[in-house]
Chain A
Amino acid sequence: MRYLTYKKISDKLIKETVKKNNDKNTGSLIIFKGLVRKDFIDKKVFVKEIFYESYKKMAEKKIEEIVEDAMKKFDVKEIIVKHRIGRVKPGEVAFLVIVLSSHRKEGFLAIQFVIDEIKSKVPIWKKEILSNNKYRWKEEKYV
């Protein structure tokens, strides 16, 4: 899988990815990390972890389409996307987008576009596992 990963998205991975893709003509490097929050449902119960489920075959295709679309729409050099699947704990990175471009303006527009598109069109679902061992599915966006 190119975009989905069961492995932790570490700073080491981010550094290596950036190093590999930076051709020294980059003037702007924007990194977005979406982290799992320890949300409180009430005074005692909180989100212990999130289980991310995905229709992997479609999700990979959809992210590819979104990245290609963004590369056409905005003047950017490289777009890197990683999304965790499986169990992710609060504080860990669940979603990573990196945009390398010559200038910051196009980079910011591109990263906002990619984040919004992925969050609303890629078949990934969150199941919040709560501290009382109950769970709830989050259903936010309608395709």
Chain B
Amino acid sequence: MKVLFFGKLKEITKKSEMEIKGIKDLSELKSFLYKKFPEIEREIFFIAVNQKICDGDTDLKEEDEIAFLPPISGG
């Protein structure tokens, strides 16, 4: 699956995207990323799965695009 980072989160991970395999749901993905980038856990963010905001846990498929989004500040 493709994982995308934006704004401050991109600076923390030093990556705009990564390819991750073998993750079954959002909780597992978050745990994986918190271990790899502990600073993320202290940030406020939202998660979009295939461009839709996702509340709570959800199953993930290999072809999904998961985006980590900081609070919005457009306009």
Contact at B75–A119, with CB atoms within 8 Å?
yes
Other-chain residue from A115, A127, A143 in contact with B72 (beta carbon distance below 8 A): A143
Residue interface bits A101-143, CB-to-B below 8 A is 1, else 0? 0000000000000010011111111110000000001111111
- Interfacial chain B residues near A83, Cβ < 8 Å: 74-75
For chain B, the count of residues having a C-beta within 8 Å of the partner chain is 17
Q: Is the CB of B74 within 8 A of A118?
A: yes
How many A residues face the partner with a CB closer than 8 A?
Answer: 30
The residues of A that contact B56 with a CB separation of less than 8 Å are none
CB-based contact A139/B48 at 8 Å: no
Checking A58, A120, A125, A137 against B48 with a beta-carbon cut-off of 8 angstroms, the contacting residue is A58
B75 adjacent to A143 (CB under 8 Å)? no
Contact present for B6 and A123 (CB under 8 Å): yes
Question: Would you call A55 and B74 a contact (CB within 8 A)?
Answer: no
Q: Which of B17-62 contact A (CB under 8 A)?
A: 44, 46, 48, 51, 53
| B residues in contact (CB < 8 Å) with A | 4, 6-8, 44, 46, 48, 51, 53, 67, 69-75
